[in-house]
Structure 1
Amino acid sequence: MWETLDVYFLLCLAVSTNGLYKQWIPDTNYENKTNWDKGVVPCGRDKAVFPAQRKVSVYVETVHSVQEMRLPVDGEFFLHSGAGFYVGGGPEPGCGAGVTTQFRDSESLKWFDPGLWQAADTLDDLERGRLLFAVHEESVPCQYDNVIFNARSSFRVDTTSATRTIPVKSVSVFGETYDSKTEFSQYLGSRSGQLQFHGSSVVTIRKAGCDDVSGCDCGNSVNHDVICNHVKCSPLTCRKPLRPMGHCCDVCGALVTIRYTTGFNLQTYRQRLQNLFLIQSAYNSVQLGMSKVFRSKRLMGIVPFGASAEIQIVILDRETGPQSGTVAEKLAQELLEDALSHDSDLGITEVELEASSGSSSDNGLGVDAGVVVGAVFGVLIMGGLVSLVAVLVHKGIVQMPKIAMPSMPSMPSMPSMPSMPSMPSFSRFRNKSDNGDLGGPLDHGFENPIFDKPTMFPTVPSLYGTEVDNSISMTQSGVHYVNPVYDENETDI
């Protein structure tokens, strides 16, 4: 329905300090023949019909003659100076015998349809048709962009989305720019605002611009599915189609991913690409879009642990068939070599290239962030395990191995058995019963009267005679050898 411009030299900076200018393409102007079902503007012998139950806002630029006009129940006409209508004029060249023509339904025009917007770096570029290329998410106004509705046109747009609000930097309607949230909210509440904007989401003004020299995120990823519902993808012929972040379709061309340090300036790098490469005649057919994106990071490719900021450069060309994407890949290779040669000057740490021909390269100019994060996580996990074991040992849940000390010399007729080191055990969960696994009493081995408790000392005469009984004394505090030289009856001095 809406004609698009063929643009051969394109460059997109998703978010600059002042934001881009994105203009709504369709309109509801009376003089636009695409707004009428017969494809022509009604003339003096025609009947112009506006559906009764449809809300409409119509801009009229000149004077028109009609045979009859049927108006809607709820609508408005904006008449330019000198514009108007009259009935029953004389014959008009090319008017014909007269037909009934109906104004098209404008309810289906959606804010998040990327095909209904065009972008430029400045207002002058917008007027001159120097338009920009961007992935689908960034074709729709981003949170730092200036929204333009043509000063001499009317419109009706459905703002329904996945969020309650649609933040933008400013909105211009009928030549008046609203950069205050309060003022624009008042306009939305007016009769004209209600006819022009409808839907479940509200367009709001956020005056803050992007203050990051490396660029800012567009913010439309939350509405990715809503945007892609309006996009129809074309069949491709390249060997390995690519899917840029923020785009709804696979493409033939090349992707360059840049990882950077604090010294990287997106605006400066953009100008470098334009002055060194895009001015070359060999790349007149190239479409290039550059923006900041956030890619999810995963530990060992599985566990997500945040996102890393990257600069994504999407490069397409107008080639078809087997040659599709070849010019774009050539330019991408030159950008890669340039980044590797001037990495320290540009603040670039790593560059990755992917091409639809199947070739790719990953040139790291520093330690990969994923490797660093993986190592840090490994150290933290090991430290956590050590701390856990220490706590369990401290609480007595786990007992560490104990090495038995050599036993005291035993009697000649009672050789001691070698001690074995004990194994770790979970004392809290140990079965305290004396019964064995088979249900019977546990065998504690032979009794050693020297080391048994006093209560278990035998009441029968000593096995070794009185000599042994007289030389060993059993008390509550332990076992003592009696020194015959010492006389216990002596009084201490």
Structure 2
Amino acid sequence: MGALGRALLWLQLCAMTRAAYKLWVPNTNFEVTANWSQNRTPCSGATVVFPADKIVSVLVREGHSISDMLLPRDGEFVLDAGAGFGAAAAGRDPDCGAGAPALFLDPDRFSWHDPRLWRSGGAARGLFSVDAERVPCRHDDVAFPPDASFRVGLGPGAGPARVRSVWALGQTFTRDEDLAAFLASAAGRLRFHGPGALSVGADACADPSGCVCGNAEVQPWICAALLQPLGGRCPPAACRDALRPEGQCCDLCGAIVSLTHGPTFDIERYRTRLLRSFLPQYQGLQVAVSKVPRQTAGAEADTEIQVVLAETGPNGTGDAGRLARALLADVAEHGEALGVLSAAARESGAPVGDGAAAGLEGSGTRAELAGGVAAGLLVLLLALLAGALLLSRARRFRWNRRDETAPAPFVTPLGFNNPVFDVAGSVELPSALQVENSRTSRSYFVNPLFAEAEA
């Protein structure tokens, strides 16, 4: 049985024993373009340079023609069948650019604590893990690729990374003595480095309600590795009052449902219930379900089931809140059968930049100010319309009077320009006319700031 066949058999045994497992993703293969400075494998006739002060193991699968190669201080080349190196004149390949050397990137850049470098085996669609649980937990089985070379940094040495077992180079390590001997060997030193330690021997999680991951102590290093490409800072959440679940490095938008469980609770059965009965109705959500520590007031540390409902779209749809309320209703109806004693939920706020939400969540002063401004604009608009109507009628009235009498001489008005009533329409009416109009249904506005001399 080949190495790949043994790996598949080992993973099947993990599934049968309900043990979770994590797969290491990156490698140091020669043909992987991401391992080279130009993001491509060396051209024919290129100069190949490996970091002189590094140790590296490189798997070579194909034949390559190069002009020069600078080897590292220590390392190995593992040649696959038909692989090798041949000599070629420099600059032979016209697509090789200006002939710059091909630099192999730092093989020590891959850290055990980086969540991006692990993949969970058997993860169902719609499920995700919080950041601390993306790195191998103490009850997990760990597998390294059987058909690739790799190099793993074990961290700063704050505490040993402890897992259930390690599968590497076709061997399974379940005892610390065997693993320690491998790490001290030439093959082990080529693939694992750093002051950190790796330990095995933990039992598989035998509790149907789940087990705590156990990465709380190393979460600062997990978050540092995860956020390194972002300058060590979390991106801003796209919602107000964002939530940070236990084990997560940054805030997220959605909801968190906390379950207090009894002895009959089965975490795998509950995950299956979420996937089949609830999640299909909410396509924009991802769910993480795990057991986490909980510190209760005046009591020793306890545990609870954390259900994280994360919004995946750029603008929150509110589905996380609706699903959280649906889960609370489900617990109220079926909690006893599920082994759930109680449930509580928290929701994030409205999306950032949503005008309607901002108006609802704004302060009372802002709301009153906005309402006052709107009311003022409405009053001003009505005043303008009324003034225009009155001026029109006033002009017609004076026009009729000018037909009967001689036009009055123009006198420059005093005061300031009234934005509602123009100068021509703000003529002081004779007292008799004022009295007459006050007795009829029609009225006219007389502006006391403007006057015209009587004809």
Same fold (TM over 0.5): yes
- Tell me, in whole angstroms, the C-alpha distance in 2 between the residues paired with 1:131 and 1:343: 23
Tell me, yes or no, if structure 1 residue 274 matches structure 2 residue 288.
no
Q: Is the 8 A contact 2:126 2:275 kept in 1?
A: no
Tell me, yes or no, if structure 1 residue 319 matches structure 2 residue 313.
yes
Q: Is the 8 A contact 1:121 1:132 kept in 2?
A: no
> What does the per-residue CA deviation read over 1:272-306, in whole Å, with 9 as the maximum and x for residues that have no partner?
1122122x2x423321111001111223xxxxx31
Aligned twin of 1:295:
294
Aligned twin of 2:237:
236
Q: Secondary structure at the match of 1:328?
A: helix
> What does the per-residue CA deviation read over 1:427-469, in whole Å, with 9 as the maximum and x for residues that have no partner?
xxxxxxxxxxxxxxxxxxxxxxxxxxxxxxxxxxxxxxxxxxx
Q: Is the 8 A contact 2:126 2:285 kept in 1?
A: no
Q: Is the 8 A contact 2:162 2:202 kept in 1?
A: no
> What does the per-residue CA deviation read over 1:329-384, in whole Å, with 9 as the maximum and x for residues that have no partner?
222222221121101101111101111128xxxxxxxxxxxxxxxxxxxxxxxxxx
Deviation at 1:222, TM superposition (A): 1.0
Aligned twin of 2:396:
none
Deviation at 1:50, TM superposition (A): 0.6
Structure ranking higher in helix proportion:
2
Deviation at 1:94, TM superposition (A): 4.0
Instruction: Summarize the alignment of residues 50-129 of structure 1 with structure 2, pairs less than 5 Å apart.
Output: 50-88=50-88, 94-95=95-96, 98-121=99-122
Deviation at 1:314, TM superposition (A): 0.8
Aligned twin of 1:29:
29
Tell me, yes or no, if structure 1 residue 357 matches structure 2 residue 378.
no
Aligned twin of 2:248:
247
- Tell me, in whole angstroms, the C-alpha distance in 2 between the residues paired with 1:236 and 1:97: 44
Deviation at 1:92, TM superposition (A): 5.3
Deviation at 1:97, TM superposition (A): 5.9
Aligned twin of 1:8:
none
Q: Is the 8 A contact 1:238 1:325 kept in 2?
A: no
Match of 1:182 among 171, 177, 181: 177
Q: 1:170 to 1:217 in 2, by over 3 A?
A: same
- Tell me, in whole angstroms, the C-alpha distance in 1 between the residues paired with 2:79 and 2:64: 11
> What does the per-residue CA deviation read over 1:392-451, in whole Å, with 9 as the maximum and x for residues that have no partner?
xxxxxxxxxxxxxxxxxxxxxxxxxxxxxxxxxxxxxxxxxxxxxxxxxxxxxxxxxxxx
RMSD of aligned alpha carbons: 2.3
Q: Is the 8 A contact 2:176 2:200 kept in 1?
A: yes
Q: Secondary structure at the match of 1:298?
A: coil
Letter in 1 for 2:119: Q
Larger Rg: 1
Aligned twin of 1:343:
335
Aligned twin of 2:371:
none
Q: 1:132 to 1:79 in 2, by over 3 A?
A: farther
- Tell me, in whole angstroms, the C-alpha distance in 1 between the residues paired with 2:305 and 2:214: 15
Tell me, yes or no, if structure 1 residue 19 matches structure 2 residue 53.
no
- Tell me, in whole angstroms, the C-alpha distance in 2 between the residues paired with 1:132 and 1:355: 19
Which range moves more in the overlay, 29-38 or 330-339? 330-339
Aligned twin of 2:203:
208
Q: Is the 8 A contact 1:45 1:66 kept in 2?
A: yes
Q: Secondary structure at the match of 1:110?
A: coil
- Tell me, in whole angstroms, the C-alpha distance in 1 between the residues paired with 2:268 and 2:239: 32
User: Which ranges of structure 2 fall in alignment gaps of 5 or more residues?
Assistant: 1-14, 228-233, 351-455
TM-score of the two chains, using structure 2 as the length reference: 0.68
Tell me the number of residue pairs that the alignment of Structure 1 and Structure 2 aligns: 329
Deviation at 1:261, TM superposition (A): 1.0
Identity among equivalent pairs (%):
38
Aligned twin of 1:385:
none
> What does the per-residue CA deviation read over 1:462-491, in whole Å, with 9 as the maximum and x for residues that have no partner?
xxxxxxxxxxxxxxxxxxxxxxxxxxxxxx
Which range moves more in the overlay, 93-102 or 73-82? 93-102
Tell me, yes or no, if structure 1 residue 157 matches structure 2 residue 157.
no
- Tell me, in whole angstroms, the C-alpha distance in 2 between the residues paired with 1:66 and 1:175: 32
Q: Is the 8 A contact 2:159 2:218 kept in 1?
A: no
Deviation at 1:179, TM superposition (A): 3.1
Q: 1:132 to 1:176 in 2, by over 3 A?
A: farther
Aligned twin of 2:49:
49
Q: 1:296 to 1:267 in 2, by over 3 A?
A: same
Deviation at 1:132, TM superposition (A): 5.1
Deviation at 1:325, TM superposition (A): 5.8
User: Which ranges of structure 1 fall in alignment gaps of 5 or more residues?
Assistant: 1-14, 300-304, 359-493
Q: 1:201 to 1:32 in 2, by over 3 A?
A: same
Letter in 2 for 1:102: L
Q: Is the 8 A contact 1:16 1:215 kept in 2?
A: no
Deviation at 1:315, TM superposition (A): 1.0
Deviation at 1:153, TM superposition (A): 1.5
Deviation at 1:183, TM superposition (A): 2.7
Q: 1:28 to 1:106 in 2, by over 3 A?
A: same
Aligned twin of 1:195:
190
Q: 1:164 to 1:276 in 2, by over 3 A?
A: same
Q: Is the 8 A contact 1:17 1:210 kept in 2?
A: no
Q: Is the 8 A contact 2:126 2:286 kept in 1?
A: no
